[in-house]
Structure 1
Amino acid sequence: MHFVSQQRLDDGVFERAFAFGDIPGILWTPDSASVSAPVPLILLGHPALGLRRMYPRLAARARRAAADGFATATIELPGTGERPRWPAAEQARADLRRAVRAGEPLCDEVVDARVLPLVDRAVPEWQTALDALLSLPEIGGPVGYSGGVISIGIRLAVVEPRISAAGLFAGSLVPRAMFQEARLVTIPLHVLLQWDDEGNDRQAALDLFDAFGSPEKSLSANMGGHTGVPRFAADDAARFFTRHLK
């Protein structure tokens, strides 16, 4: 991993763009982070829309986490943003959009083709990024994961022992196979569900929450669409990470 740019934001948060191989990412650290006082880390998940498009929302989440004393980091997902094109993923995305536009029920094959290969590729990349991030002297543990794609968060919670808690966004399609993996999740969970999310199957989200094997899990369900998350829901998520990572 090498840093390619850096800037100090107006609230004192230190933002650094980095890359390893062809994978770009961003690291945000609070003023309090130092070699003598390393801070916990939260990995910021996001939908496969590209870092450039998602930057305003990611930076806002990072600033809030920095105010609570956390470093945050994110990476570009496979086949998105400025990364090399991934024809199979683009075809799967096109098939999904075609079914949605036609009002057709989404069959398992369409959902699996869109989500499962992304999970298989993205999770090892997240783990490689985590190796590099935890080698920085100003960053220590524990580590949390926040956001989506929810199936990526599920897989990371199962296979990555360095992740101590996860806040997941119930806003993406979940293959049936991920329900089996959800039963293996044991770390503390905080799941955010927008009740009227036009792109989310509410009942499937509730069934997935029920499937999680974590002894401690909470569901924050709020009225509104995908982008209508109330401020207090973000405050609840912040308190969750403060409770489990500090």
Structure 2
Amino acid sequence: MHFTSEQRLDGGVLERAFSFGDIPGILWTPAPAPAPTPTPLILIGHPPLGLRRMYPRLAGRARHYAAEYGFASATIELPGSGERPRWAAAEQARADLRRAMEAGEPVGDEIVDALILPLVDKAVPEWQAVLDALLALPGIGGPVGYEGGVISIGVRLARVEPRIVAAGLFAGSLVPAAMYEEARRVTVPLHVLLQWDDEGNDRQAALDLFDAFGSTEKTLHANLGGHTGVPQFELDTGARFFARHLNRTAHRR
């Protein structure tokens, strides 16, 4: 892991851009505590529109976690997105998806599988390798949570990565059928956020996926409004979920 820049944000939060091979990412860490202890870490799921375009939202969440709860946060660029090399198969799958949606046709399973499954297969091992590097840094000791991003990546990561102890997922409907079986094997505590009137989301598919999760602790927060209408208070609701599971003594600073 190679750090390429750093800046100090409001509240003493340190933001450092990094590269891990050809993967760009950002790490946010809280101001040092008077009595340093290992810092819990939240992996903020890949921004589908790229790190640059999604930076304000990502940084806002990371600053909140650091300033209010003392958590570190990190995110990385999705394969084939942002500044990463183009991925021909993913570009073709996106084009097929756009054509179906513009024509008002149903998005078939073959399109969803071609778009999502290779992405999951590539992205999850990358996250695990980056997590190895992050946990080797001074002061970051876990435990680890995961939030946001492409929900199928979150499902796979929560299933296969034992260092993740809790996950906050954003409901989305482009979920391959195979992921429902994987969801049944997810057992970590879950906090799932659903926009009830999301114009790009099949509500019933999101509810079916939530029902499939095998976790004994899982909570669904559904709010009225479209994709971009998530209430501001949900940021702190999600943070308190992580506070319960990443550090049971965590409290607002």
Amino acid at match of 1:27: L
Alignment pair present for 1:43 and 2:68: no
1:15 equivalenced with 2:15 (yes/no): yes
Q: What one-letter code is carried by the residue in structure 1 that aligns with 2:94?
A: R
1:233: Cα distance to partner? Answer: 1.8
Looking at structure 2, the residues matched to 225 and 193 of structure 1 have their Cα atoms a distance apart, in angstroms, of: 10
Deviation at 1:32, TM superposition (A): 3.0
1:161-210 Cα deviation digits (max 9, x unpaired): 00000000003511100000000000000000000111111000000000
**What secondary structure does 2:73 align onto?**
strand
Letter of the aligned partner of 2:113 in structure 1? D
CA distance in 2 between partners of 1:145 and 1:35 (Å): 26
Contact in 1 for aligned 2:173/2:205 (Cα 8 Å): no
Determine the C-alpha separation between the residues in 2 that align with 1:33 and 1:42: 18
Q: Distance in 1 between matches of 2:34 and 2:103?
A: 53
Does structure 1 retain, via aligned residues, the 8 Å contact 2:18–2:27? Answer: yes
Aligned partners of 1:15 and 1:161: how far apart in 2?
27
Partner residue in 2 for 1:90: 91
In terms of mean alpha carbon deviation, does 27-36 or 87-96 score higher?
27-36
Q: CA–CA distance in 2 between the matches of 1:12 and 1:36?
A: 15
Matched, 1:139 2:112: no
> Where do 4+ consecutive residues of structure 1 move more than 6 Å?
none
Go from structure 1 to structure 2 and tell me whether the alpha carbon gap of 1:108 and 1:5 turns closer, same or farther (over 3 Å shift): same
Matched, 1:205 2:206: yes
The 1-side partners of 2:8 and 2:90 are apart by: 36
The Cα offsets for residues 29-69 of structure 1, whole Å up to 9 and x where unpaired, read as 00036994221000001342111111111001101111211
The one-letter amino acid of 1:73's match is A
The superposition leaves residues 107-157 of structure 1 with CA deviations (integer Å, 9 ceiling, x where unpaired) of 100011111110000000000000000001110110000102000000000
> What is the aligned residue count?
246
Alpha-carbon shift at residue 79 of structure 1 (Å): 0.5
AA matched with 1:162: R
Q: Tell me the TM-score normalised to structure 1 length.
A: 0.97
Partner of 1:29: 29
Query: In structure 2, what is the Cα distance between the partners aligned to 1:218 and 1:202?
Result: 16
Separation in structure 1 between the aligned mates of residue 39 and residue 16 of structure 2, nearest angstrom? 16
Shift of 1:10: 2.4
Q: Which residue pairs with 1:181 in the alignment?
A: 182
Alpha carbons of 1:135 and 1:42: their partners in 2 closer, same or farther (altered >3 Å)? same
Matches within 5 A, 1:40-189: 40-67=40-67, 68-189=69-190
Identify if the C-alpha distance between structure 1 residues 97 and 35 changes in structure 2 by more than 3 Å, giving closer, same or farther.
farther
SS of 1:81's partner is: coil
Cα 1:4/1:39, change in 2 over 3 Å: same
Whichever residue aligns with residue 2 of structure 2, its letter is H
Q: Which amino acid aligns with 1:6?
A: E
Taking structure 2 as the reference length, what is the TM-score of the superposition?
0.95
AA at the equivalent of 1:128: A
Instruction: Give per-residue Cα distances to partners, 1:63-85, cap 9 Å, x unaligned.
Output: 11112110000001111111111
1:230 and 2:195 are equivalent in the alignment: no
Q: Is the 8 A contact 2:46 2:76 kept in 1?
A: no
Paired residues of 1:33 and 1:139 also in contact (CA < 8 A): no
Kindly report the root-mean-square deviation, in angstroms, between the aligned alpha carbons of the 2 structures: 1.3
Secondary structure at the aligned position of 1:80 is classed as coil
